[in-house]
Chain A
Amino acid sequence: MRHKFWQILTIVVFICLLLGTFIASRKKDKSNNKGPVSQEAEAALKQYGFYLEPVNEEIGVTFRHVSPDLDPKVDNIKLQIASVGASVAVCDFDNDGWNDFYLTNSATGSKNALYRNLGNGRFEDVAEAMGVADLNQKGTGASMGVVWGDYDNDGYKDLLLYKWGKTTLFKNVNGTSFEPVASSGLPEWANINAAVWFDVDNDGLLDIFLGGYFKESFHLDSLLTTRIMPESFRYANNGGRNYLLKNKGNGTFEDVTQQYGLTSTKWTLSAVAADFNGDNFPELYVANDYNVDEFYMNREGKTFEETGAAVGIGHIPKSGMNASLGDINNEGSFGVYTTNITEKGVLIQGNNYWQPKAGKGKQPSFVDLGQISGIENGGWSYGAQFGDLNNDGYMDLYVANGFISAKENTSYWYDYSKVTGGNSNIIGDAKNWPDMEGKSQSGYTQDKIWLNNQDAIFEDVSGKACPPATYDGRAVAMVDLWNRGVLDVIVANQNNVPTIYKNNIGNDHHWIAVDLQGTRSNADGIGARVEITWDGKKQVQAVTGGMGFSSQNQHRLHFGIGQAAGIEQLTIYWPSGHVDKIPHPAINTLHTVKENQPAD
């Protein structure tokens, strides 16, 4: 009798469990529809305080990215391999006070674009005139991205173009033209997908980190072998080598990769440099595909030590595609947002927000807040950037999503799972990969816009705070395009037009922007940490030489401060070690600050 009771109870509980999981799956299915939810601009302005409006045509941007050409030997997975190359990097290259931006193209013979801000709301492609358009000629490789940095400290930011091919440095000649720097010491041929400018030893000269993806011996448009793919989906170490190139100050760079210990050959897709431990020397976070990410501690500018596992970020191998800095809860410390893959029922990696733990002294360590903050599940995410889109004093987040949007209602995921689950001899050879036959993979997905609800908990306003955006987004850049004290957004989309979003703000929030010019430090002030305090809050941002996936934000740093009437203090920690403190700086103003000199 007693057993009978428990039998019945067990059956009831079991049925409840099955029913519960079934009903939950139906609810979740409804809430996870990929279809975008369009919302009227006025409603979004009222509810979220901003609305992103695509304005390509109005401002004269007609650029379209075309994917790189590949050797016919890998035609079966061309869509898979040729899935990168759309990039965006912002820079006021002619120092006229208006932000310009550069977009890369990738097909052989295609042209890159440099959109000069005319200051009247419109932009003009001046790449051809400036000598930086026709850079995808046969035999030179395919453009993957650019980063701007003033390597010769002449006050004009120079252009480093990295490629699956010959990476090239272009000197900015007083904002009037660009000249390739001959014999610069850059690699003759490498398959680079990440680059940052940073001053490794704070000697005042910007150095270069290049992250390799495919092995540098491969020319992807003329292959001798099809054994070019990763040896594992989670533990691959057969990617391209990385490069650390030290600026010698005479227009040439020295390869110090071995000396500095950056010998990893993981498949690097992104990197960001910043001083995480307060010793003024920049650390390096490297996001890797098919393996764990890496965190390189800078040992007084003399060498790097890889401490990914020790600091907590190097345990779980994912598909690292982005590394960007944020301070989502206004704690005054840098967190790192990394993007990965989440595909329902197939692969749930989730994106990470690596928040530094407090009170650990000189050795940083991180804890993942991605899930708690609600910014974990993006889809097949690529580039991401933080920025205060509604100037409320809290950083919001834009994440580009979507891998391959080819034939609609098709999926390559099953085929993909077959080879990625197999032995290295199978996955490593492109000829074993099933023919894609034009199938999509995590395509037609909405970019994510996450609104920080002022408590580091984010609300998904994708498709509500902008019209539907279902291109295959790659690079994201935050920039004030029209000097309005508002962050606009540029998204470079693979094999498609970019999306230039004008940010319409529907509130009376205040802001402050800071543009740094180093004197003892490098001229760009790259590596400087800027902290503002107001209303009991504190937010920190860094001047970087590129971050995110194939992208670079505007050089100036933008802080929203909500309805605060003022800022208590603006503090600048320069890489040289000098600290500038500016009490009560004017708000709603762009401050240009020279190191160790009063603000303008």
Chain B
Amino acid sequence: MQQEYEIKKVPQSGFISEWLKKNFQYIPPAFITLILLVGQLTYGILDNYMNLVVAILTSVVAEIVLARLVLGTRKNLASAYITGISVGILIRSNVLWPYFITALISIMSKYVLRYKGRHLWNPSNFGVSWMLALQTTSVAGLSVQWGSNFAAMSVIWILGLIIVNRAKRIDVSVTYIICFVILAYIRSLITGDAFLAELSPLTGPMYQLFIFFMITDPPTSVSTRKGRILVVILVAVVEFFFRLNNSIYAPFYALCLVGPVAKYIDLRMQASKKLNVAPSK
């Protein structure tokens, strides 16, 4: 999910903005924690605290160890924390090991699936998609709502939009939402199901996490605004076809397919641009 925001892009205006500028990297983790806390305190969305603890600890420890051993650096752990908490929320299992394995696969993907020094997949998107696709006997997704309280849902939407706005990613989130709504309408025409039935998933927690944390993830987003909008449209379109094929976890699979290809092309284009502008000797 959303990992390492580019601090320099946060606009400055007054003390709060200055503070946000310096500490913005902690806002997304704080927000996802808030979502979790609201969900847990009001509805008890976590079936088991241990699952979440295992996912977060695995992510954080794996990040510390791999950053040190593979890259020889220390990394801010906010990103790993978000990955862990996302895994803890997004997958559901009656046993503990999937939380450990999913978190481990997610973090390791950052250090293995790389191109030009950048990871291609959003970590939790990769881990969660892999496990949902393969470990169907032990793992399911968060496909059920965590409450029917419209006010609570609205607060999460408003806060989420404010945060992605501060992170200069609101265009991505809004474009995706618009695409989903339009494509939901088209699907309803094709399937004959009620428009609200097609729209319904958007009102659930899985999509809140997807829209605010996964598709806006800066490290795995492409570098230009137009590119990001194009990519998110493609994600929505691929998801549309997955949905027509009755795939419950369509958004995860769509991002898992489109995201890394887009990032790969983007990195190549950036590299060739640099070559073109380099002064000739």
Chain A residues contacting B139 (CB-CB under 8 Å) are: 345, 348
Contacts of B118-162 to chain A: CB distance below 8 A: 130-132, 134-140, 143-148, 150, 153
Stretch of B81-89, B195-203, B227-235, B265-273 contacting A (4+ beta carbons < 8 Å): B195-203
Contact yes or no, A234 B146, CB < 8 A: yes
* CB of B279 within 8 Å of the partner chain: no
Q: List 24 A-B contacts (CB under 8 A).
A: A7-B111, A10-B69, A10-B112, A17-B108, A18-B105, A24-B135, A25-B134, A25-B135, A232-B147, A233-B144, A234-B147, A315-B44, A345-B140, A411-B246, A415-B193, A418-B198, A419-B197, A420-B143, A423-B200, A424-B148, A424-B150, A427-B148, A432-B194, A434-B194
Minimum CB–CB distance from A9 to chain B (whole Å) comes to: 8
From A17, A344, A423, contact of B148 by CB (8 A)? A423
Least CB separation from B104: chain A residue: A17
Residues in B neighbouring A590, C-beta threshold 8 A: none
Q: Does B70 interact with chain A (Cβ within 8 Å)?
A: yes
The answer to whether A422 touches B105, judged by C-beta atoms less than 8 angstroms apart, is no
Given A421-B206, A426-B203, residue A234 in contact with residue B144 (CB < 8 A): yes
Nearest-CB distance from B204 to chain A (Å)?
Answer: 4
Task: Find the B residue at minimum CB distance from A316.
Answer: B47
The 8 closest A-B pairs by CB, nearest first: A422-B200, A424-B148, A345-B136, A414-B246, A421-B204, A6-B69, A423-B203, A434-B193
Is B165's CB within 8 Å of the partner chain A? no
Minimum CB distance partner of A236 in chain B: B148
Task: Known A-B contacts: A233-B145, A418-B197, A426-B203. Give 11 more (CB < 8 A).
Answer: A14-B109, A21-B101, A25-B137, A234-B146, A419-B197, A421-B200, A423-B148, A424-B150, A432-B194, A432-B196, A433-B197
Contact status A235-B66, CB under 8 Å: no
Contact B105 A426 (CB under 8 A): no
Cβ of B117 within 8 Å of any chain A Cβ, yes or no, is no
In the complex, chain A residues 278-333 whose Cβ is within 8 Å of any chain B Cβ: 315-317
Which residues 213-239 of A have a CB within 8 angstroms of B? 231-236
B206 proximity list for chain A (CB < 8 A): 421
**Interface residue B247 (Cβ < 8 Å from any Cβ of A):** yes
Residue numbers in A under 8 Å from B140 (CB-CB) = 343, 345-348
Q: Which of these, A235, A414, A432, contacts B43 with CB under 8 Å?
A: A235
**Given known contacts A21-B101, A423-B153, A234 and B136 CB-to-CB distance under 8 angstroms:** no
B55 CB → nearest A CB, Å: 15
Closest A residue, CB atoms, query B131: A21
B248 on interface, CB distance cutoff 8 Å:
yes
Q: Bits for A333-377, please: 1 = Cβ < 8 Å to B, else 0.
A: 000000000011111101000000000000000000001000010
Question: Known: A17-B104, A234-B144. Contact between A25 and B136, CB under 8 A?
Answer: yes
The residues of B with any CB-CB pair to A shorter than 8 Å are 43-44, 47-48, 66, 69-72, 92-95, 101, 104-105, 108-109, 111-112, 130-132, 134-140, 143-148, 150, 153, 191-194, 196-204, 206, 246-248
Nearest-Cβ distance from residue B206 to partner chain A, whole angstroms: 7
Chain B residue numbers with a CB within 8 Å of A422 are: 145, 196, 199-204
List of A residues within 8 angstroms of B145 by Cβ: 232-234, 420-423, 427
Which bucket holds chain A's interface residue count? 35 or more
Contact string, A376-414, partner B, CB cutoff 8 A, digits 1/0?
100000000000000000000000000000000001011
Say how far A336's CB is from chain B's closest CB, in angstroms: 18
Known interface pairs A233-B144, A423-B150. Does A344 touch B203 (Cβ–Cβ under 8 Å)?
A: no
Complex-state Cα separation, A371 to B97, whole angstroms: 14
Q: Determine which residue in A315, A350, A415, A427 has the highest number of CB atoms from chain B within 10 A of its CB, and name it.
A: A427
- A417 near B248 with CB under 8 A, answer yes
> Which chain B positions have C-beta within 8 A of A25?
134-137
B148 and A3 contact, CB distance less than 8 A? no
How far apart sit A13 and B107, CA to CA, in the bound complex (Å)? 12
Please name all residues of chain B whose beta carbon is closer than 8 Å to the beta carbon of A586 when the two chains form the complex.
none
Write out, one digit per residue, whether chain A residues 421-444 have a CB within 8 A of any chain B CB (1) or not (0): 111111111011111000000000
> Is A250 part of the contact surface with B, judged by Cβ < 8 Å?
no
The smallest beta-carbon distance between B91 and chain A, in angstroms, is: 10
Among A15-32, those with CB < 8 Å from B are 17-18, 21-22, 24-25, 28-29, 32
Tell me the bound Cα distance from A348 to B48 in angstroms: 14
B179 to chain A, nearest CB (A): 17
Of residues 230 through 275 on chain A, the ones whose CB sits less than 8 Å from some CB of chain B are 231-236
Residue of chain B at shortest CB distance from A12 = B112
B104–A427 touching, CB < 8 Å = no
Query: In whole angstroms, what is the CA distance A588 to B6 when docked?
Result: 79
| A24 (CB) vs chain B CBs: closest residue | B135
A417 surroundings in chain B (CB, below 8 A): 143, 201, 248
Measured CB to CB, the nearest residue on chain B to A3 is: B72
- A347, B194: Cβ atoms under 8 Å? no
Minimal Cβ-Cβ distance residue in A for B187? A418
In the bound assembly, the distance between CA atoms of A411 and B137 in angstroms comes to: 17
Chain B residues with CB under 8 Å of A28's CB are 135, 137-138
CB distance from A581 to the nearest CB of B (A): 42
> Nearest chain B CB to A58's CB is how many angstroms away?
39
